[in-house]
Each structure stands twice: as structure tokens, then as C-alpha cells.
A = this chain, B = another copy of it.
Amino acid sequence: MKLGEGVEAAIHCAAMLAGVDGDATIPGAAMAEAFGLSPSYLLKHLNMLSVARILESVPGPAGGYRLARPAEHITLLDIVLAVEGREPAFRCGEIRRNGPARLDVSAYVKPCGINAAMLKAEKAYRAALAEAKLSDIVSEFMTDADPRSVAAGCAFVARHQRPQKSSSTKQA
């Protein structure tokens, strides 16, 4: 049972993007620098978030990424599933039917009880992640984290975010 490092990166990036003004964007390279990550590889993960409609990407200069919807409507489950895939962690290989004395396939129509129990646990896991909204993560960070850390994060966003020319004008 292991989660790739991309999950941590994706959540941190999403949290950072929650702090931009209006429809401004932050380039992926800037976020890679902020977290000391490999730019090329981080782009892979950010792209998966784009495909999952969690982020929006804007090409060209002044381009980059921004949230595709308000942070209140993005959960950690959304991000984890986008990066890690939607398949369950436990995949039943149906090894019970791999023995030398194989029965007819009709003997295995009932689902494997072990599989059911494992899937039930993962359902609980996902339910807990679905409860964690990105907006909660951000606001908790703002109030609980060390002021220097908060200030540094906000300064970084302010320095790297790029306002868009078209669109309405400012933020909501």
C-alpha cells in the first residue's frame, strides 16, 4: 500500500493555486521550483489534474494553471483519484480458482468475500478523503501555520501569478 509522490505534489499545487487572484495563472515551472520538484515530471501530474477537470491550463506566455472550480468544490479524493487512477488498491486476482483442481466457472459466480471486505475498507478511505475539501486545507493553513510560512507562500503566489488579459477583469 503506497501512494506515489505525485499525490503530495498535486495537492500542494492545488492548494497554491487556490490562492491566486481571479482567473490568474501560475506556470507549472514556478510551482516545481517552489517545491523543489522536477519540472518535467510535475507537468505530468498537473496534466492529469487538467484532464480530470480539476485544473485549467492556459497556453502561451502569461499562461499556466488555475483551479477549474472553486476550492470548496475540490476534494482530496478528486485529486488522489486523478493522479493515482480510479482503480481500487486491492485487485482480486481470483486466485482461489487457479489451483490444479479447477471447478467449472459456474462455481465462482459468487463474488469473493475477501474482495468485498477489502473494497468496503477502501470505500471508507475514499469517503474520508471526499470529506476533505481543498478550501479547508487552505484556510486551515492560513490560520494554523507559522506566519512566516504563510507570508512566504502568499508572496510566492503574488510574485508568480499572471493575470489574464481577456475574461471579465478581476476576481469575483
Q: B3, A106: Cβ atoms under 8 Å? A: no
CB-defined contacts of A43 to chain B, threshold 8 Å: none
Q: A144, B113: Cβ atoms under 8 Å? A: yes
A67 at the interface (CB under 8 A from B): no
A 59-107 contacts with B by CB, 8 A: 76, 80, 84-85, 89-93, 95-96, 98-101, 103-104, 106-107
A 19-51 contacts with B by CB, 8 A: 33-37
- This chain: copies in complex: 2
A52 at the interface (CB under 8 A from B): no
- The answer for the CA separation of A148 and B137 in the assembled complex, in Å, is 52
- The answer for the CA separation of A125 and B120 in the assembled complex, in Å, is 9
Q: Which residue of B lies closest to A16 (CB)?
A: B96
A172 at the interface (CB under 8 A from B): no
Q: B121, A137: Cβ atoms under 8 Å? A: no
Q: In the complex, what's the smallest C-beta–C-beta distance from A27 to chain B, in angstroms?
A: 15
Q: In the complex, what's the smallest C-beta–C-beta distance from A94 to chain B, in angstroms?
A: 9
